[in-house]
Chain A
Amino acid sequence: MGKPTQRYFSQPIQTESDVTNEKNPKVQSKEVITYEVTDIKKRPWGRRQADRHKKKVKQKSNPNPTFKGRVRPSEKLLQKYSKGAGVSIKGVKTSIHQKKLEKKEKNIKFATEQAARTEVLLTEDVGYLEADDGETTTQFTQKHIVNSVDITAATKHFDLRLDFGPYRAKYTRNGRHLLIGGKKGHVAAFDWVTKKLHCEINVMESIHDINWLHIETMFAVAQKDWVYIYDNQGIELHCIKRLNKVSRMEFLPYHFLLASCSEQGYLSWLDVSIGQIVGQYNTNLGRLSILTQNPWNATLCLGHAKGVVSFWSPTSRDPLAKMLCHKAPVTALHVDPTGTYMATSASNRELKIWDVRQLKGPVQEYKLVTAANNLAFSQKRMLAVGMGNIVEIYRDCCATAAKKAYLRHRFVTPISNFNFCPYEDVLGVATARGFTSLLVPGTGEPNFDSLEANPFQSKSQRREAEVKSLLEKYLKPPKVNYEPRKKAKGKGGSVKMAKNRKILQEEAKKEFIKQKKELLPEKRSKEK
């Protein structure tokens, strides 16, 4: 039958050679196997132990203590620029992402610190009129102020007496140039600081509103029927017939949109950069004549005769929100440059300050002697209230209630509109018989960001800024795709998770009920 077949898994059969080491064959075989198969991994795979330990950075002590090095900005300043608490590293998966986020946090911290450091460069400061005992700030007239300020500041107070009917006036975004338009067709654009005239024309039509476009070389005029665009030499560039019977205009500088509302109740946005109308809707709210923009989010605010303020954007056919502000027709409204507060006034002599961010309020409520028909916020949140031929300026009237006016000025003729000049302590008031520039200490932002709005802009800078702002509008970052890359087939796990959650919730509910049952009066009475 021969040798029986040997399988590798069967027990080894003894051969003669085995017999020779009969003494302790078992022990010998044990000696050979030295591998400890069960205990292969002594440490976890893939990570060096050294990586886990944080390196202690030895900081050298300052060799020369008299020079303390770079001064860290104060905590208060840092708090001002801080963007809030950062990511807690424990809430991030994988160590690599943790490290990445740590670095990012470091950069953000650096950014805030750097921003706080730049405060050093903001040398200018705001000043106010401060009254002594027994004095009030309102008692100081323009004459007093002009007499007591330096020459350059004094030149900023001037008076233009013009004959072409009630005027409207507007400043450019950097506050350097002024545009005035009289009802009877007089349009003039000039650098109001140097008093250098760009152009002066008569359009031979009634003018309802005027507005600067993104730069001082172009402005739009809402005439009797249509809107016209002129350049700074008074040459007509465009006649936009689709903007019909426009009563008020606003320019949204970041979007390059010329927003206008018409007497027939139409609201339209014209993209100035491509010359197309972005949106034109009938508001169905009657005649529109009170329009401002919220500079923070570029929504338009319309005041209506039913005491309602409506908020609009070109993307939606209906108003984004409607707010009942007064129980009487709204006469004027304005939003402050930071987009925090909105001031509205109504014909029932009310003046209210609202929180526009939350659409809440009123934050403050005032009752005036006569109804205000003009309102304007300055950069430092001063509020100018125009009533008939009087303009009153209020300080700190939003967060706290103002008791008295800060300044007051009385004109001969009724006021048609006014604006605070950005980066200047000036209020430009357009009246029926001309234009007056008033000195109001402490209204303007003393430090300007030259990349944002530069009052001392040169020609080349203006060009640069124009191109840059256009690029900023049209160059958009690639869309971030937050979709998951690929899902495993049928292994989403969301269903299971939902089930688990439900079970847990139910358990908690049961327990809660059980606990509450102890409190029930019947049980308690039984216990007693």
Chain B
Amino acid sequence: MSDESDNYCDISDGEIDKRKHEKLVDDILNLNKIQNVKKPSRTEPALQISEFNLVKSVTGNKGSVHLNELTKALKGRKKHEEISNKLKSTSNKSKTLPTPLEKPQADRIRRSVNYEKSRLQLDRWEALVTSNRAASHLTFPLDSVEKLKIEEKESEVYPTTWRLKSKLQTELEKLKPRVEEYLIDTEDKEKFPLTLEELKEQRERSSKAASTSKKRGLRKDLSRQVLAQQLAISRDLTQKLKSVNSDSEDEDTESEQNLKSSKVDENNPWVAGMKPNKEVVDFVSGYRKYWNEQNNQPEKNKEGDRVNDRKHENLENSEKVEVKKAVNKITTPPNKNKKSSRLKRSRSNKIKKKAKSEGKPNINSFTSTSDWEVSSLQEKDNDIEGIFYQLEEKLKQKLKQKYNKVKGDRTNINKKKSTKIASTNKSKKKIDLTIPSKSKKHVIDEEMIEQLKSTSEDAEIFDKSSNSDLNHLKNILNTVEENKPTSDIDPNKFVQVKKINLSTAIPDILMTDENEENDQTKVILEAFEDDDIVQDFEKEKAEEIEKDTPKDIDLNLPGWGSWGGSNINPSKRKRKRFIIKMPPKMPRRDDNKGSLIINEKAQSKIKPHMVSELPFPFKTVKDYEASIRAPIGNTFVPETAFKKLIEPAVTTKMGAIIEPISKSLLIGKRKYEL
């Protein structure tokens, strides 16, 4: 109603105050003496009033009403407190569903997920499809894959051969359905590469080896005491772990890993129920401490190194070997530490192997004097050893870098004496110390210069950007400037063959051929041999060329558009306009060959058979030409090769049904390499 009145007012007079107007309306309504109860309303500051532009509440996203706050009012009574508690618990437990995503976004996600799924589905076909497409020969129906047969597991089948099944067995069978397995028919691989005895033997050997290596580790004299302690602790630890789960020793390392992370991993069933023993915790903490110390050590080492090298600087004639030794000394102790500690923990064969393999790169890294970084061949491992090893490596590298740097500095100080080191430096940065070669003065040797000029002239047309040619030119300009007459050179004139006089036998009878009339004509011909024949031929050639060259077409019509007749010359401009000009000179195949006329028209019949464009899969003409270089006919090629070359792309077996490709093709092993 108020809206209507508003509208009305707007129409009558826009300048009337709103409040006044409302009051007026109220007053008028009050005239009826019935009290009207106003509807609750609120005001909101907005520029536009529409249903879409509502202003958010003051509290923002949280909303104005909080249930928890409401329950505060219920604090007073015990009865109501329960309700508030309930509310709290429910709000804690239950999670409201998130607001659904906007439609396009949701769709996009759905699409991407579906795309990914279908991509995976299709991707597995990709290899087969590409190989089939690239195959030079396919026989349908495709049986490129070995036949598959579904077989039961041997372990499942074998017990059934023994006796009647007990009740328990049958019951169990009901519970657990039989597992079927794909087995490739022809495969006869061993399921167990080693027998039980062999396995045992191997294990023994490995443990022995581990113990020996351990001893070796002990022999090393650094921090033996600490290590011995740790060894004892770790041994205890492993025993205890064994008592918990008397499993294979391989898992020791795994459990250690878990322990190391001190948090009880929920996912690991082995550690789940076990509380960390005090000793274990001690060990772990000690261990970690030790390693923290170790990690901090490199800095100290570096400092030590620096000091060492400074010494070397002072002692200038001390040899390189010494430096190396020094570095060795510094770097070895931590290495030994690590090694021995590691060895104590490890007993399994696997770890022993690692220790061996790690030993090698160590040696390598020490012996290498060049700037190459010698990296280990081992892959990065996630386990602790790997991390340690990486750290070790890093340390070594850093040391080496420092070493090299210092060495380089030394060489700068005294170049003369340390020539050896300089040579190593050279390999790093090839600093050319040779005196920049001066451009030599050209010895005046005319023939050579002439050759140079001619070659460069030719080359400049083709290689514009090549600086070498430019240099050539410049050189020539610097040395000699001679004007040589340039003219077309007929190579035939220069490559003249020497006429050889053959002393043939003289025939008894000078034979008079049927073609020739008598000797007199011969004599005459011989006398005037050069004159006629060559001239005639040249004339003929000129005529031929003349005939072939396209002539300008004159479309002039005298008298058309202007006066014509005798003594009236049409304007030059007009004449020119009506002449269709042809390209001046077409290159001919016999251009440079004096005594040869080649019929250019005869080619025109071959032209449609020739390829005008580079056909599809080729990028260069050279490759295309190479692809058709070899003949395939059996007149040119042995029969066996011929059969191979003309093998049809697709052959079908007669009478066999060709079914669409099936998934079974994807599973089996290929019979042949495509």
Residues of A within 8 A of B (CB): 1, 4-5, 8-10, 12, 14, 16-22, 25-26, 28-29, 32-33, 35, 37, 40, 45-48, 50-51, 55, 83-88, 91-97, 99-101, 103-104, 107-108, 110-112, 114-115, 117-118, 287, 289, 306-308, 313, 315-316, 318-329, 331, 347-348, 351, 359-360, 362-370, 373, 385, 387-390, 392, 401-405, 408, 410, 414-415, 451-452, 482, 484, 508-509, 511-512, 515, 519, 524
Residue of B nearest to A208 (CB): B514
Residue of A nearest to B478 (CB): A524
Q: Is A84 a contact partner of B464 (Cβ separation < 8 A)?
A: no
User: Which of A22, A117, A289, A320 touches B62 (beta carbons < 8 Å)?
Assistant: A22
Interface 1/0s, chain B 453-478, versus A by CB < 8 A? 00000000000110000100110010
6 A/B residue pairs, CB under 8 Å, sorted by A: A20-B96, A25-B96, A51-B127, A85-B626, A387-B504, A404-B502
For residue B635, which residues in chain A have a CB less than 8 angstroms away from its CB?
Answer: 451-452
Residue of B nearest to A322 (CB): B597
For residue B508, which residues in chain A have a CB less than 8 angstroms away from its CB?
Answer: 388-389, 410
Q: Is A319 a contact partner of B599 (Cβ separation < 8 A)?
A: yes
Q: Is B134 a contact partner of A20 (Cβ separation < 8 A)?
A: no
Chain A proximity of B272: nearest CB distance (Å): 26
Extra contacts besides A94-B617, A95-B130, A316-B602 (9): CB < 8 Å: A28-B96, A47-B130, A114-B637, A318-B599, A318-B602, A329-B516, A347-B516, A347-B525, A452-B635
Q: Is A511 a contact partner of B465 (Cβ separation < 8 A)?
A: yes
B601 contacts the other chain (CB 8 A): yes
Measured CA separation A79–B318 after assembly (Å): 61
Contact residues, B298-345 vs A (CB, 8 A): none
Q: Is A324 a contact partner of B507 (Cβ separation < 8 A)?
A: no
B91 contacts the other chain (CB 8 A): yes
B109 contacts the other chain (CB 8 A): yes
Residue of A nearest to B647 (CB): A107
Measured CA separation A512–B599 after assembly (Å): 39
Assuming the contacts A20-B94, A37-B109, asked whether A10 and B504 have C-beta atoms less than 8 A apart, the reply is: no
Q: Is A385 a contact partner of B504 (Cβ separation < 8 A)?
A: yes
User: Which of A88, A93, A360 touches B616 (beta carbons < 8 Å)?
Assistant: A93
Q: Is B644 a contact partner of A107 (Cβ separation < 8 A)?
A: yes
Chain B interface residue bracket vs A: 35 or more
B638 contacts the other chain (CB 8 A): yes
User: Which of A35, A83, A313, A484 touches B630 (beta carbons < 8 Å)?
Assistant: A83
Residue of A nearest to B619 (CB): A91
Assuming the contacts A37-B112, A388-B510, A389-B509, asked whether A347 and B522 have C-beta atoms less than 8 A apart, the reply is: yes
Chain A proximity of B398: nearest CB distance (Å): 35
Residue with the highest number of chain A CB atoms closer than 10 Å, among B511, B596, B618, B644: B511
B653 contacts the other chain (CB 8 A): no
For residue A373, which residues in chain B have a CB less than 8 angstroms away from its CB?
Answer: 511, 513
Q: Is A88 a contact partner of B623 (Cβ separation < 8 A)?
A: yes
Measured CA separation A313–B598 after assembly (Å): 13
Measured CA separation A150–B297 after assembly (Å): 99
Measured CA separation A449–B144 after assembly (Å): 40
B640 contacts the other chain (CB 8 A): yes
Measured CA separation A388–B531 after assembly (Å): 28
User: Which of B525, B540, B641 touches A115 (beta carbons < 8 Å)?
Assistant: B641
Measured CA separation A220–B642 after assembly (Å): 36
B54 contacts the other chain (CB 8 A): yes
Measured CA separation A373–B511 after assembly (Å): 9
Assuming the contacts A5-B51, A107-B644, A114-B638, asked whether A99 and B629 have C-beta atoms less than 8 A apart, the reply is: no
Q: Is A84 a contact partner of B500 (Cβ separation < 8 A)?
A: no
Measured CA separation A414–B514 after assembly (Å): 12
Q: Is A40 a contact partner of B116 (Cβ separation < 8 A)?
A: yes
B33 contacts the other chain (CB 8 A): no
For residue B113, which residues in chain A have a CB less than 8 angstroms away from its CB?
Answer: 35
Measured CA separation A316–B605 after assembly (Å): 9
For residue A32, which residues in chain B have a CB less than 8 angstroms away from its CB?
Answer: 98
For residue B638, which residues in chain A have a CB less than 8 angstroms away from its CB?
Answer: 111, 114-115, 117-118
For residue A10, which residues in chain B have a CB less than 8 angstroms away from its CB?
Answer: 52
Measured CA separation A420–B495 after assembly (Å): 32
Measured CA separation A48–B130 after assembly (Å): 10
Measured CA separation A329–B524 after assembly (Å): 12
Q: Is B641 a contact partner of A114 (Cβ separation < 8 A)?
A: yes
For residue B612, which residues in chain A have a CB less than 8 angstroms away from its CB?
Answer: 482
For residue A111, which residues in chain B have a CB less than 8 angstroms away from its CB?
Answer: 630, 637-638, 641-642, 644-645
Contact residues, B51-93 vs A (CB, 8 A): 51-52, 54, 61-63, 65-68, 90-91
Assuming the contacts A19-B66, A37-B112, A91-B619, asked whether A367 and B501 have C-beta atoms less than 8 A apart, the reply is: yes
Assuming the contacts A94-B617, A388-B511, A408-B505, asked whether A22 and B533 have C-beta atoms less than 8 A apart, the reply is: no
Chain A proximity of B388: nearest CB distance (Å): 32
Q: Is B506 a contact partner of A367 (Cβ separation < 8 A)?
A: no
B108 contacts the other chain (CB 8 A): yes
Measured CA separation A160–B630 after assembly (Å): 47
Smallest CB-CB A-B distances: 9 pairs: A388-B507, A111-B641, A91-B623, A324-B595, A97-B617, A99-B134, A414-B511, A512-B464, A316-B602
B37 contacts the other chain (CB 8 A): no
Measured CA separation A72–B641 after assembly (Å): 16
User: Which of B95, B533, B540, B615 touches A21 (beta carbons < 8 Å)?
Assistant: B95
Residue of B nearest to A85 (CB): B626
Q: Is A482 a contact partner of B613 (Cβ separation < 8 A)?
A: yes
Q: Is B507 a contact partner of A323 (Cβ separation < 8 A)?
A: no
Assuming the contacts A8-B103, A21-B91, A389-B511, asked whether A321 and B620 have C-beta atoms less than 8 A apart, the reply is: no
Measured CA separation A17–B98 after assembly (Å): 10
Measured CA separation A375–B126 after assembly (Å): 67
Chain B proximity of A8: nearest CB distance (Å): 5
Interface 1/0s, chain B 525-545, versus A by CB < 8 A? 110011011101100100000
Q: Is B102 a contact partner of A9 (Cβ separation < 8 A)?
A: yes
Assuming the contacts A45-B119, A87-B626, A107-B644, asked whether A368 and B504 have C-beta atoms less than 8 A apart, the reply is: yes
Q: Is A331 a contact partner of B534 (Cβ separation < 8 A)?
A: no
For residue A12, which residues in chain B have a CB less than 8 angstroms away from its CB?
Answer: 99
User: Which of B474, B597, B619 touches A92 (beta carbons < 8 Å)?
Assistant: B619
B499 contacts the other chain (CB 8 A): yes
Measured CA separation A403–B533 after assembly (Å): 29
Q: Is B98 a contact partner of A28 (Cβ separation < 8 A)?
A: yes
Measured CA separation A509–B534 after assembly (Å): 43
Assuming the contacts A85-B626, A92-B619, A370-B504, asked whether A321 and B598 have C-beta atoms less than 8 A apart, the reply is: yes
Measured CA separation A33–B637 after assembly (Å): 67
For residue B505, which residues in chain A have a CB less than 8 angstroms away from its CB?
Answer: 369, 387, 390, 392, 408, 410
User: Which of B506, B522, B598 touches A320 (beta carbons < 8 Å)?
Assistant: B598
B123 contacts the other chain (CB 8 A): yes
Assuming the contacts A48-B123, A92-B623, A365-B497, asked whether A18 and B618 have C-beta atoms less than 8 A apart, the reply is: no
B182 contacts the other chain (CB 8 A): no
B442 contacts the other chain (CB 8 A): no
Assuming the contacts A91-B620, A367-B499, asked whether A320 and B599 have C-beta atoms less than 8 A apart, the reply is: yes
For residue B599, which residues in chain A have a CB less than 8 angstroms away from its CB?
Answer: 316, 318-321
Measured CA separation A405–B505 after assembly (Å): 10
For residue A86, which residues in chain B have a CB less than 8 angstroms away from its CB?
Answer: 626, 629
Chain A proximity of B117: nearest CB distance (Å): 11
For residue A46, which residues in chain B have a CB less than 8 angstroms away from its CB?
Answer: 123, 126
